[in-house]
Structures are given as structure tokens and as C-alpha cells.
Amino acid sequence: MKINDQEVAFEIEGKRYHCAMDITMDYIGGKWKTVVLWYLRNDKKRFGELRQLIPQITERMLSIQLKQLEEDGLVRREVFATKPPLKVDYSLTDFGRTLLPVLEAVAKWGRELGHSKGELVEIKSGLNKG
């Protein structure tokens, strides 16, 4: 990366990265993005479906993550304004699909660690909202 007095970097849409890991982690880093992308890997999902699939996420965080994923071109948002009850679908774009091998590797590693070292725990919760 360093050539004498000069360093080399990549710029993608105004953002500067210093190596390949950097780039990828900027797209999928953080606590939620991989999880959201994972649940979109097969088919489109609605906002409420994602909420139920990821009980720990708040509406606020889900909203923010989806918006960022959309801005990054990984996720497509489709609105069907039927009546007052809105219908919004989220799905992976083709660009988002290029991430699938990465997501699969990440999921596989976690899954295997969970099986070898993890203990299964059950959490009772009367309703989702404690």
C-alpha cells in the first residue's frame, strides 16, 4: 500500500478506502446489515416481515439500515400505494446479489461456531414488546 512517500487509496463515489476489506466492510459493516441482507437473499420481504424475522431490531434501526442499503444500491424498495395501508417490498438488486458469496461465508462460519461452541438458550417473552 505504501510506495515511498506516497500512499495509494481507492475512491468510490467520494469515499476513500485504503484496502479491499475496507470497502466491503463499509457496505456490510455494522450490527444489522448482514442480517437484513441475509433475510432478503431468497425473496422479497415487507417491512413488517423483516421486523418479525429480526425481533431484536427496532423499527428505527431497520428503517435506517434499509435506507442505507438502498442508497448503496444493494437493496431495491418498491412501494404499492393501495390505500392508507401502504405496501412496501424490499429485495436484493443484482448488485446486492453479488454479495451472496460473502454473506454465505459469514453465515457459515457463525453457524459452525454456534454448533461447536454455542449453547442454545430460550428466551421467554410474553410479547415482542417486553
Q: What gap in Å lies between CA 42 and CA 72, rounded to an integer?
A: 19
Query: 115 vs 129, which CB is nearer to DNA?
Result: 129
Pick from 84, 85, 126, 130: which binds a copy of itself (CB under 8 A)? Answer: 126
* 15's grid cell: 469515499
CB of 47 to DNA, least distance (A): 3
Of residues 57 through 86, those in contact with a copy of itself by CB under 8 A are none
Q: Closest CB to DNA among 116 and 128?
A: 128
Does residue 92 contact residue 106 with C-beta atoms inside 8 Å? no
Rounded to whole angstroms, what are the CA distances from 63 to 36, 51, 69, 70, 71?
Answer: 11, 10, 10, 11, 12
46 binds DNA (CB under 7 A): yes
**CA atoms of 66 and 76, how far apart (whole Å):** 9
Among 44, 18, 34, residue whose Cα is nearest residue 99: 34
Q: Using CA of residue 44, residue 48, residue 52, residue 56, what is the dihedral sign? A: positive
Q: Which of residues 67-106 bind DNA (CB under 7 A)?
A: 67, 77, 84-88, 90
Question: Rule CB under 8 A: is residue 17 a binding residue for a copy of itself?
Answer: yes
* Footprint on this chain of a copy of itself (rule: CB under 8 A): 1-2, 5-13, 16-25, 29-31, 34-35, 38, 52-56, 98-99, 101-114, 117-127
Interface with DNA (CB under 7 A): 30-32, 46-49, 56-61, 63, 66-67, 77, 84-88, 90
